[in-house]
């Protein structure tokens, strides 16, 4: 019998949470709580220009309003702190040094303009343009010449050829080739900001996270992260990638959907049990959209009932949630 999982919330405080974020966080919470697992809250505030304290506070307030709780985090403390990535930078440095000692990383002097203009760097979906390898095999003299010219390097991982296989709790076995998903990927930007791929692996391993539930827009990140787990000698968690919620035009939810922000729904008078019940219905966990608190959904949660395709929301979903009316999907 598997031990209870350790799940996590990991919002980025770069904007306000919307209905799609709430959907993923609710299901992450249910996937853990239904197996008597713990939840930790980690704020992924690596981007110093976009991360704001007001968004941090709003994320915690929105999730608590929805009825979700966590056992440890920046507001509660716990044995695996600190719980803000901006306070964990030394751990990322140590991990990068371990990789460098084994010759697994290299400095990259390419600018964004150079990468965008490279004919050999086609865009490969959410993974971005495939790195053309301009700096992969530079000699020490060539690196010194670039640094003498004032270029500060990013840090990239030598990405090996071949597929990385893993089991997704919803999709089953998957095998993806990181070289087909962007190739050598950055671990640190040229301005010194640590990249998501390295930080999330170091943190999930150090904080003993054993279950990651997130949107399937991040599925391309999974083989790259598993590579890092293996290189650093860590055990990867189990993954569940959720099909996304889309707006009525079929576009993924984003900051432009201000009416679907949790704060906007709250301010307009929506009740948390109506929002949670509606999201649970979209996730196949209840038969019709009706008010439910997250705690009432724990016992009946079944990952096998989750949808296998994206869900398109009706155009008036915000108004119906505010009115507490019955809602049907389109």
pLDDT tens sequence across 189-219: 999 999 999 999 999 999 999 999 999 999 9
The candidate with the shortest Cα–Cα distance to 31, out of 315, 275, 304, 330, is 304
* Average pLDDT of the residues of the chain: 92
- Listed residues 177, 199, 221: the one ending a domain: 199
Q: Is residue 30 part of a domain?
A: yes
pLDDT tens digits, 39-50: 999 999 999 999
Once rounded to an integer, what is the mean pLDDT over residues 259-265? Answer: 94
pLDDT of residue 324: 84
Whether residues 97 and 192 share a domain: the answer is yes
Q: Is residue 135 part of a domain?
A: yes
pLDDT of residue 329: 45
Dihedral sign (CA 68, 69, 72, 77):
positive
Whether residues 93 and 191 share a domain: the answer is yes
pTM over 0.75: yes
Whether residues 128 and 177 share a domain: the answer is yes
Parent domain of 167: 89-199
Whether residues 276 and 308 share a domain: the answer is yes
Which has the higher per-residue pLDDT, 116 or 226? 226
Whether residues 94 and 83 share a domain: the answer is no
CATH number at residue 280: 3.40.50.620
Sequence-ordered list of residues with C-beta below 8 angstroms from that of 143, at least 6 positions apart, any chain: 107, 109, 153
pLDDT of residue 288: 94
User: Which of these ranges, 114-123, 205-214, 292-301, has the smallest mean pLDDT?
Assistant: 114-123
* Bridge partners (DSSP) listed for residue 72: 40
Once rounded to an integer, what is the mean pLDDT over residues 129-143? Answer: 91
pLDDT tens digits, 268-278: 999 999 999 99
Q: Write down the residue that tokens 């930007």 correspond to.
A: 189
The one catalytic residue in 2, 52, 113, 255 is 255
Which has the higher per-residue pLDDT, 185 or 122? 185
Whether residues 255 and 313 share a domain: the answer is yes
Confidence band, pLDDT 50/70/90 cuts, at residue 325: low
Which has the higher per-residue pLDDT, 259 or 170? 170
Dihedral sign (CA 305, 127, 212, 58):
negative
Whether residues 182 and 258 share a domain: the answer is no
Whether residues 120 and 193 share a domain: the answer is yes
Once rounded to an integer, what is the mean pLDDT over residues 57-78? Answer: 97
CB atoms within 10 A of CB 288: 9
pLDDT of residue 151: 80
- Give the C-alpha distances (Å, rounded to integers) separating 4 from 1, 41, 208, 242: 9, 17, 12, 21
CATH number at residue 151: 3.90.800.10
What is the secondary structure of 279-290 as a DSSP string? HHHHTTSSSS--
Once rounded to an integer, what is the mean pLDDT over residues 45-69? Answer: 96
Q: Is residue 154 part of a domain?
A: yes
The candidate with the shortest Cα–Cα distance to 239, out of 93, 31, 69, is 31
pLDDT of residue 6 exceeding 70, the answer is yes
The candidate with the shortest Cα–Cα distance to 253, out of 326, 262, 46, is 262
Q: How far apart are CA 274 and CA 227, in angstroms?
A: 41
Q: Is residue 211 part of a domain?
A: no
Q: Is residue 220 part of a domain?
A: no
Q: How far apart are CA 236 and CA 238, in angstroms?
A: 7
Q: With beta carbons less than 8 A apart as the criterion, state whether 214 and 126 touch.
A: no
Once rounded to an integer, what is the mean pLDDT over residues 299-323? Answer: 94
Whether residues 190 and 103 share a domain: the answer is yes
Q: How far apart are CA 329 and CA 326, in angstroms?
A: 10
Confidence band, pLDDT 50/70/90 cuts, at residue 126: low
pLDDT of residue 1 exceeding 90, the answer is no
Whether residues 73 and 125 share a domain: the answer is no
Whether residues 247 and 267 share a domain: the answer is yes
User: Is 255 annotated as catalytic?
Assistant: yes
Once rounded to an integer, what is the mean pLDDT over residues 157-163? Answer: 95
Q: Is residue 163 part of a domain?
A: yes
User: Token pair of 197, please?
Assistant: 């791929």
Q: With beta carbons less than 8 A apart as the criterion, state whether 159 and 136 touch.
A: no
pLDDT of residue 326: 55
Report the SS3 class of residue 248: coil
pLDDT of residue 49: 92
Q: Which helix (H) or strand (E) holds 11?
A: none
- Listed residues 144, 177, 199: the one ending a domain: 199
Q: Is residue 54 part of a domain?
A: yes
The domain tally of the chain equals: 2
- Listed residues 166, 181, 199: the one ending a domain: 199
pLDDT of residue 119: 44
Which has the higher per-residue pLDDT, 51 or 117? 51
Whether residues 94 and 60 share a domain: the answer is no
Omega within 30 of 0 (cis) for the link into 82: yes
pLDDT of residue 116 exceeding 80, the answer is no
pLDDT of residue 254: 83
Q: Is residue 225 part of a domain?
A: no
């Amino acid at each position: 019998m598997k031990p209870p999982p350790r799940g996590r919330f990991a919002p980025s405080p770069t904007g306000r949470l919307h209905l799609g974020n709430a959907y993923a966080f609710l299901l992450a919470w249910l996937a853990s709580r239904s197996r008597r697992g713990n939840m930790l809250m980690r704020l992924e505030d690596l981007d110093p220009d976009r991360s704001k304290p007001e968004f941090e506070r709003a994320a915690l307030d929105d999730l608590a309003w929805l009825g979700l709780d966590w056992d440890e985090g920046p507001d509660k403390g716990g044995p695996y702190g600190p719980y803000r990535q901006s306070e964990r930078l030394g751990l990322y440095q140590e991990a990068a040094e371990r990789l460098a000692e084994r010759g697994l990383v290299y400095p990259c002097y390419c600018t964004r303009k150079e990468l965008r203009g490279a004919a050999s760097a086609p865009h490969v979906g959410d993974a971005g343009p495939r790195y053309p390898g301009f700096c992969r095999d530079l000699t020490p003299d060539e690196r010194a010449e670039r640094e003498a010219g004032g270029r500060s390097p990013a840090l990239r991982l030598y990405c090996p050829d071949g597929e990385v296989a893993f089991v997704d709790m919803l999709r089953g076995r998957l095998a993806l080739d990181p070289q087909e998903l962007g190739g050598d990927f950055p671990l640190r930007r040229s301005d010194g900001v640590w990249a998501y791929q390295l930080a999330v692996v170091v943190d999930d391993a150090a904080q003993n996270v054993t279950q990651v539930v997130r949107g399937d827009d991040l599925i391309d990140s999974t083989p790259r992260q598993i590579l890092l787990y293996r290189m650093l000698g860590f055990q990867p968690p189990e993954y569940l990638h959720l099909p996304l919620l889309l707006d009525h035009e079929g576009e993924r939810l984003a900051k432009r959907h201000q009416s679907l922000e949790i704060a906007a729904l709250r301010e307009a008078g929506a009740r948390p049990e109506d929002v949670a019940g509606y999201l649970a219905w979209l996730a196949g966990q209840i038969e019709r959209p009706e008010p439910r608190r997250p705690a009432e959904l724990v016992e009946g949660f079944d990952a096998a009932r989750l949808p296998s395709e994206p869900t398109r929301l009706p155009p008036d979903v915000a108004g119906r949630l505010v009115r507490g009316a019955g809602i049907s999907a389109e």
